[in-house]
Each structure stands twice: as structure tokens, then as C-alpha cells.
Amino acid sequence: MLSGRYALQALEPAWITSRQIEAGRRAMTRNARRGGKIWVRIFPDKPVTVRPTETRMGSGKGSPEYWVAVVKPGRILYEMSGVAENIARRAISIAASKMPIRTQFILSG
């Protein structure tokens, strides 16, 4: 962990979309009631392209449809500080429910 006292850590590899990242961030912010500080430690920097339906083979690659963050096991997704532990646990567990992978709550020493 870099900045926060509490964190959400990924336990599985996955592609997490920018929408999922934002949904988790909003859930944490709402639950903490604007208290404390939240860091989002992942950034969606990989474009995922999609071909239009009923298109023949060839004629180039599809256009970027959405962006994902490539997450490996052990990666910190969110960090939080400045709130009580029970509030942080609740906020981070709600953010974890928005993620498509198994995660764990971490408390820095």
C-alpha cells in the first residue's frame, strides 16, 4: 500500500472495465459520506475493440468500444484513509461487490 490505511486487493486475474472502476469508486465515496480520502490505484489503459455485427472478414480492426485495466492477483484496487475501520470495511465491501473478481480487505500495520 502506498497512501491509505485500508485497501482492496485483487485475488484473481481479470480485465476490469472503466465503468466497474467508477461504480466501485462512487459506492465507496457515498458510503464514507464524503469523509476520509480515497485513492483509485488502477487505470483503464487497454482499449477493447469490437467489430460491427454482420461484418465480413478483413477490412481492418474494429473501433475501440471500451477501456479496461488489466489486473493480476495481489494488485491493490482502491485505498482509503481518514475514516474509522468499520466504515472503511463497509465501504470497501460494497466496492468489492461491484468487481467481477474475488477480493480481500487489507489493513496496513
**CATH code assigned at 29:** 3.90.1170.10
pLDDT tens-digit map of 18-58 = 999 999 999 999 998 878 899 999 999 999 999 988 888 88
Considering the entire predicted model, what is its pTM?
A: 0.89
User: What is the domain range of residue 62?
Assistant: 6-107
Running DSSP on this structure, what letter comes out for residue 75? -
**Residue 109 pLDDT more than 70?**
no
Q: Rounded CA gap, 68 and 44, in Å?
A: 4
**Residue 64 pLDDT more than 80?**
yes
The proportion of the chain whose per-residue pLDDT surpasses 90, expressed as a percent, equals 78
Is residue 1, in this structure, part of any structural domain at all? no
Q: Rounded CA gap, 6 and 106, in Å?
A: 6
Is residue 23, in this structure, part of any structural domain at all? yes
Q: Could you give the number of structural domains in the chain?
A: 1
Is residue 102, in this structure, part of any structural domain at all? yes
The predicted model gives 67-90 an average pLDDT of: 95
